[in-house]
Amino acid sequence: MRLHTILSPQLFPLFSDDVLGKQVLIIDILRATTSVVVMLDNGAISVQPVSGVGEAMELKRENPNLLIAGERNGYKVEGFDFGNSPQEFTPDRVSGASLVITTTNGTQALSLSLEASHIWVGGFLNINALVEAMAAVGEDVFLFCAGWKGHVNLEDTLFAGAVAKALTSKGAEITDDATRAAIVLWEQAKYDVHSFLSVASHVKRFQSMHAESDLEACLRMNTSEKAIIYQNGVLVAIPS
């Protein structure tokens, strides 16, 4: 099992042929992939990622029982049931429900990865479950950082390093400098991730939105024992 890191969707064209038949982990720590973990851990049946706001709203019109979640530029889309804060998806609101999500970065990265054999989604909340699931499959892994509007960001790169470090302990081979750099970041940050990310541009964006409490929610470690996988057009938890 070899590891590769894609630091930004802008770099994805360099890898588009290589991901065919391989595993891809979509990483959008602040906040899309973290929120998906929370949704499914709190009892949602499935989460359907879509690229556009219009597509999400059309699905809602076709099935009023669907709940739609999403943001643009960090803010909740008008008319949606939820924004993109993991703190919104409480059991009383999502248990037993099917959701649709669209975000600025995370769902766009997933839409690029459909030729992969396995598409995983997650964050610090389910990192151990993800690592075990990917190691069990054994195919090469592409750690795909959603970034921010095409740019590299600190938190996704940091998480890629955490996953890569864990997978190397299970025999995975590092093949590129992007993965090596991500691991170096993780080794520097792992004892105080919150402080390390205090200078990150997305964290400063949170501060301007008065959403600082989302950072704490996104950085909790291993609160979920479920790996999240994309199957038949939706994201589901295993074990369900």
Summarised one tens digit per residue, pLDDT across range 186-217 is 999 999 999 999 888 767 776 766 567 888 99
Q: Categorize the per-residue pLDDT at 108 as very low, low, confident or very high, splitting at 50, 70 and 90.
A: confident
Q: Where are the alpha helices (DSSP H) in the chain?
A: 32-41, 53-62, 91-94, 106-112, 127-137, 154-168, 177-189, 193-196, 201-209, 213-218
**Separation between Cα atoms, residue 116 and residue 49, nearest integer Å:** 16
User: What architecture is domain 2-238?
Assistant: Alpha-Beta Complex (3.90)
CA distance 226 to 40: 9
Please compute the mean of the pLDDT values over residues 96-101 and round it to a whole number.
97
Closest CA to 122 of 96, 89, 156, 88: 156
- CA-CA distances (angstroms) from residue 216 to 11, 129, 181, 205, 213? 29, 20, 24, 15, 6
pLDDT bucket at 42, cuts 50 / 70 / 90:
very high
In degrees to the nearest 10, what's the CA dihedral of 209, 149, 61, 229? -100
pLDDT band at 87 (very low <50, low <70, confident <90, very high): very high
SS (H, E, C) 104-163: CCHHHHHHHCCCCCEEEEECHHHHHHHHHHHHHHCCCEEEEECCECCECCHHHHHHHHHH
H or E segment to which residue 175 belongs:
none
| Overall size of the chain counted in residues | 240
- Band of residue 122 on the pLDDT scale cut at 50, 70, 90: very high
| C-beta separation of 80 from 69 below 8 A | yes
For residues 88 and 127, give the distance between their C-alpha atoms in angstroms, rounded to a whole number.
21
Query: pLDDT tens, 15-24?
Result: 999 999 999 9
Tokens of 117: 């054999």
Radius of gyration over every alpha carbon of the chain, rounded to an integer in angstroms = 16
CA distance 230 to 32: 14
pLDDT at 173: 98
- Predicted confidence at residue 54, as pLDDT, reads 95
